[in-house]
Structure formats: structure tokens, C-alpha cells
Structure 1
Amino acid sequence: MQKLAGAGVFERVAPNHFAEQLRTESLSVGTYSIPAGGIDDQAPHHEDEIYVVTTGRATIVTPTGTEQVGPGDVLFVPAEEAHRFTDITEDLALLVFFAPPYSGRG
């Protein structure tokens, strides 16, 4: 058992911030922080992702749809699918699960 201290907590590091809290052979977990009014400039990843919104509000845009998101929402984004958070109206913190572990490319 391992407690992931600080996972899902917003960190104000300009312009955006990703901090990895756990890495195993099969998955990795981290926190992605985007400040209110910020720009999400991420590219598609080579891993499946699950996002859990811990704080903030935004819109996620993918080729398959657009959804407003807020605390408690859980999102699945398959590997290689383009996605971006827009209209970030409150500081956004996302707990991110990658499987397989995040490769750092994308």
C-alpha cells in the first residue's frame, strides 16, 4: 500500500504543471494543473488516460465530443486521441492515470 500525498492538488507553476506521484510497470499516476484562463497545449499521448477532476471547471474537447467538466467528473481518453481542456474558468487540477505508464512523449 502506498498513500499518494499531494495527488490531485492544484499547483501554480506557470504556465501548466504535471507532477508524477506514482509509476509501476503497468500504470502511472500524476496531477496536471492548469490555471484559470490558461492554455492546455498537450499533444495526444501514447497511453490510455483516465482524468479525475479534483478542482476547477473547464471544457474538454475531443474529436468525439465536447463536455463541460467540474469536480468529481471522470473522463476516459483512449491512446492517440487528440484532446484539450479549454474555457478554464477556475484553477483546474486533474488526477491523471496512464496505462501503460506515461512515456513522457506526446
Structure 2
Amino acid sequence: MRIIEGAGEWTPPAAGAANDWVENLRVPDLSVGTYCIPAGGLDSQSPHTEDEIYVVTAGRAKIVTPDGTAEVGPGAVIFVPAGEEHRFDEVTEDLALLVVFGPAYGSRAHGSAAAQDD
């Protein structure tokens, strides 16, 4: 067992950064991280090669995918399949997301995991 300290907690992005991504845990079959976007911020991520679950722990925004748009807030759980375009838009309150990737983030990437923005 392991308690994952800080996972899902709001952290303001570094000066000059649009958002903040921190990987909190990595094992071969999954990874867990925290993604934060400040109110009014922009989400510039690209589709991922892994399935993804977001749990909104704080803030409010809209999630936009080819299937539609939905308002999300604390407690919302969102599944995004591998390869699907998605972004958070209209961030009205500082947004903190607990993110779970299966398998681990970047493990299916063709090239560097750093090439994927999250």
C-alpha cells in the first residue's frame, strides 16, 4: 500500500507556465498525476496514447471532445479513451484534476512522452 501525498491538490503553475502537470505515481500498468489549470487559463494538451480518467477535485470548467461539451466541477469523473481529442475550456475557477492513465502515461507513445502535452 502507498498513500499518494498531494495527488489531486491544486498547485498554481510556475511563472510563465499555462498549467501545471505533476506525475505522482508510476507503475507499468498505470500512472497517477495532478493537472492544474488556473481560472481563465488555456488547456493545450494533445491526445494521449493511453486511456485516461480525470477526477475533478476543485474548480469548474467545460470538457470539450468530438462527442460534445459538458460542464464539470468537484466530484465529476471523466473517461477519455486513448487518442481522443479533448481539452478543458472556459475554466471559471482554478481547476485541479486527479488524472489516472492506463497503462502508464507515455508508455504507448511513438517517441518521447515529453512530446505529449498534459
Correspondent of 1:92 among 85, 92, 95 = 95
Whole-Å separation in 2 of the counterparts to 1:20 and 1:81: 21
Normalization by structure 1: what TM-score? 0.97
> Which runs of 5 or more structure 1 residues have no equivalent in the other structure?
none
Whole-Å separation in 2 of the counterparts to 1:44 and 1:15: 17
- What corresponds to 2:49 in structure 1? 46
Give the 5 Å matches for 1:20-39. 20-39=23-42
Give the 5 Å matches for 1:4-83. 4-13=4-13, 14-83=17-86
Alpha-carbon displacement from aligned partner over 1:38-80 (angstroms, at most 9, x marks no partner): 0000000000000000000000000011100000000000000
The share of aligned pairs that are identical, in percent, is: 61
Runs of at least 4 residues of structure 1 off by over 4 A? Answer: none
Normalization by structure 2: what TM-score? 0.88
Give the residue type in structure 1 aligned to 2:24: Q
Whole-Å separation in 2 of the counterparts to 1:35 and 1:54: 13
> Which runs of 5 or more structure 2 residues have no equivalent in the other structure?
107-112
Whole-Å separation in 2 of the counterparts to 1:63 and 1:87: 17
Could you tell me how far 1:37 is from its partner in structure 2? 0.1
Q: For this pair of structures, how many residues does the alignment match?
A: 106
